[in-house]
Amino acid sequence: MSLRLGPIHNWLYNQIKVIEGREEKIVREFTDKYGGGEEIVKPLREKYGQLKGDTPLEELIGDTHIHPWLEGAITTVQSRESALVKELVEEYEDKDLLHKVYFEDGQSLAQSLNKERALQLEEVFKFLKDTLVERMPCDRLSVVEKEDNKIIWRHNNKLHQEFWEEVGVEIDLMHHLYTIWIEGFIKELNPNITYERVFEEEYYIDIFEE
């Protein structure tokens, strides 16, 4: 391994595993309801790569460079998620079930932090930022602005969208699923925080206010 593993590498790896966990829940819910989720996801995992599971990061990286491996893993997990959503929507036309899974996944991840509810806004946002995968930090595709009782998280349009556009998913659906997930997460930690996503020409912006 060419570079020593540090906290940021494991931080990114844990974010990747969050998406993999959500993927497993999506497949399970659709399989329980329709019986076909496993058949749909199998070729996608063959195309984009298998789940990392509980394999330690050190074993996965081996002697390869850490940063390119992590960049590839982030691309893989987001590409597979977007492709899975596309296939499920085309096969079953059940966006309501997707909404349910995304909301409950955000909610359950917040619950797993074992924190008391009604955390302060900055604490909630830190947990969210630690959990939600973006890209490599050096890509600088997001900027955080803080005001009194408000946090503005500004994202370049290419963040996340490029993976969903590549497989032909409606971008409105991507934004809706992600905002539902974030809403489930923050409401579990502090139901008094308001959240909305707004759009500008080159950015989309998450606004949190207490």
pLDDT tens digits, 48-76: 999 998 899 989 988 788 888 999 999 99
Partners of 208 in the beta sheet? Answer: 151, 195
The pTM for the full model equals 0.92
Locus of tokens 């390119």:
68
- Interatomic CA distance for residues 152 and 146, integer angstroms: 6
Q: Which residues, in sequence order, are CB contacts of 67 under 8 Å at separation 6+? A: 3, 136
The mean pLDDT of 69-84, rounded to a whole number, is 94
- Interatomic CA distance for residues 171 and 162, integer angstroms: 9
| 137: confidence class by pLDDT, cuts 50, 70, 90 | low
- Least Cα distance to 106 among 85, 124, 80, 82 occurs for 124
- Least Cα distance to 191 among 131, 124, 105, 126 occurs for 124
Tokens of 137: 């930090």
Tokens of 178: 């992600």
